[in-house]
């Protein structure tokens, strides 16, 4: 099945990499920075929609064409694809502008136009604007237009409820749940267990647990361990999270068997670095990890692990967290003990 995916523009660089990571062995055709098409099975698409932190709208079997003088070019000649869900009686047409650019299109006229065409292919259908069985989705940007049956429109209410401002205990340095989830997804395919070695109040841990993996956190500050556990209990996720009170430079396991790590390490403003300079802490920490470990790490832009020896870096981007805070995101794989 061919799908059109519209992603959120909250973290454009990382979101694009999330999509590239999910569809690693598939061809993503980017129509704009927020829209792409891909062909895959519906099972795969369902799994990815479930995990994703950036997918907003998915349309199946999209038609991609142009608009001229409020008319959708050649719409009459286009065959509106039959939905895989044949059992429905009513529908509505929904129109969404993809990018901010203002067009003075007569969207009402476009909706009527499209609805008429859908009718001509499915004459048994009725229009139901309040509670339709299916939605015929129209997306437009510039003079371009994509249309087809809506496969899924994703809601992010649950993930928003896990934002740091809703936690009972919160240290000030915690990352938004959407971005945490995006970074975890850069480890896709996700392993059964994922580690955050500087776990703080547990933002990453709860998003890991939400994906269905087991999360292990290491935190040096005992008070924060208790607070993190209380936060996770509030969300009913504490059963899927293991917390270790300790120093990540001396983990209580040797060969851990955990080879996927996501972390937001301390950067010595609101958080402790157990007396070490934050960069020295990072340099020492990357040395103790096993070969084959993948780490997704986010740091302030002025804090860099300078091309650590023995690691390959395949993602290195900056993204806005909010207006005054830019974060660097890296995905690194430990290739060998010494040189690259």
Ligand X SMILES: C[S@@+](CC[C@H](N)C(=O)[O-])C[C@H]1O[C@@H](n2cnc3c(N)ncnc32)[C@H](O)[C@@H]1O
Q: Cβ closer to ligand X: 118 or 225? A: 225
**Bridge-based pairing state of the strands 35-39 and 71-72:** unpaired
DSSP 100-134: S------HHHHHHHHHHHHHHH-TT-EE-SSS-SE
Can residue 220 be called a binding residue for ligand X (CB under 6 A)?
A: yes
Cα–Cα dist 312/335, whole Å: 6
- Residue 2 beta carbon to ligand X: minimum distance, rounded to whole angstroms: 38
Site for ligand X in 265-294 (CB under 6 A): 266, 271-274
256 binds ligand X (CB under 6 A): no
> Is residue 232 within the footprint of ligand X (CB under 6 A)?
no
Which 161-190 residues touch ligand X, going by CB under 6 A?
Answer: 171, 173-175
Q: Checking DSSP bridges between strand 90-97 and strand 2-7, what pairing results, if any?
A: unpaired
Contact with ligand X (CB under 6 A) among 224, 225, 282, 289: 224
Least Cβ distance, residue 300 to ligand X (angstroms): 10
Return the range that interacts with ligand X (CB under 6 A); candidates 3-11, 98-106, 128-136, 202-210: 202-210
Q: To the nearest whole angstrom, how small is the minimum distance from the Cβ of residue 207 to ligand X?
A: 9
Q: Which long-range contacts link 299-304 to residues 24+ away (Cβ below 8 Å)?
A: 299/264, 299/265, 299/267, 299/327, 299/328, 299/330, 300/267, 300/325, 300/326, 300/327, 300/328, 301/326, 301/327, 301/328, 303/267, 303/278, 303/279, 303/328, 304/279, 304/328
Cβ of residue 308: shortest distance to ligand X, in angstroms?
Answer: 17
Q: HSE of 217 in the Cβ direction (CA atoms, 13 Å)?
A: 30
Q: What six digits make up the tokens of 86? A: 């044949």
Q: Does 231 bind ligand X (CB under 6 A)?
A: no
Cβ-based nearer residue to ligand X, 137 or 180: 180
Check residue 221 for interaction with ligand X (CB under 6 A).
Answer: yes
Question: Smallest distance, Å, CB 162 to ligand X?
Answer: 10
- The interface mask with ligand X, positions 104-133, x = CB under 6 A, is ------------------------------
Residues in contact with ligand X, shown as a per-residue x/- string from 28 to 67 under the rule CB under 6 A = ----------------------------------------
Using CB under 6 A, list all residues that contact ligand X.
171, 173-175, 198, 200-204, 218-221, 224, 247-249, 264, 266, 271-274
């Amino acid at each position: 099945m061919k799908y059109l995916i519209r992603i959120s523009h909250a973290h454009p660089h990382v979101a694009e990499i999330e999509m590239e990571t999910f569809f690693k062995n598939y061809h993503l055709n980017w129509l704009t920075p927020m829209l792409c098409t891909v062909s895959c099975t519906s099972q795969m698409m369902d799994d990815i929609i479930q995990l994703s932190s950036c997918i907003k709208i998915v349309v199946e079997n999209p038609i991609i064409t142009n608009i001229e003088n409020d008319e959708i070019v050649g719409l009459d000649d286009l065959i509106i694809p039959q939905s895989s869900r044949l059992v429905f009686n009513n529908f509505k047409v929904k129109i969404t502008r993809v990018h901010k650019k203002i067009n003075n299109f007569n969207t009402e006229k476009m909706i009527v136009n499209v609805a008429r065409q859908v009718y001509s292919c499915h004459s048994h259908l009725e229009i139901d604007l309040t509670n339709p069985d299916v939605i015929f989705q129209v997306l437009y940007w510039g003079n371009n237009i994509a249309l087809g049956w809506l496969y899924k429109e994703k809601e992010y209410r649950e993930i928003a409820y896990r934002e740091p401002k809703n936690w009972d205990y919160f240290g000030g340095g915690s990352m938004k749940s959407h971005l945490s989830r995006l970074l975890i997804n850069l480890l896709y395919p996700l392993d059964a267990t994922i580690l955050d070695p500087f776990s703080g109040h547990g933002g990453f841990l709860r998003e890991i647990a939400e994906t269905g993996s087991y999360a292990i956190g290491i935190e040096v500050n005992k008070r924060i361990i208790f607070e993190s556990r209380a936060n996770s209990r509030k969300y009913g996720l504490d059963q899927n999270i293991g917390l270790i009170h300790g120093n990540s430079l001396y983990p209580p396991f040797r060969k851990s068997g955990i080879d996927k790590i996501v972390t937001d390490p301390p950067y010595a403003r609101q958080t402790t670095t157990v007396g070490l300079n934050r960069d020295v802490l990072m340099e020492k920490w990357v040395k103790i990890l096993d070969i084959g470990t993948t780490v997704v790490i986010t740091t302030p832009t002025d804090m860099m692990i300078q091309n650590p020896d023995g690691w390959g870096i395949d993602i290195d981007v900056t993204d806005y967290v909010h207006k005054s805070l830019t974060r660097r995101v890296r995905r690194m794989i430990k290739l060998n003990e010494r040189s690259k």
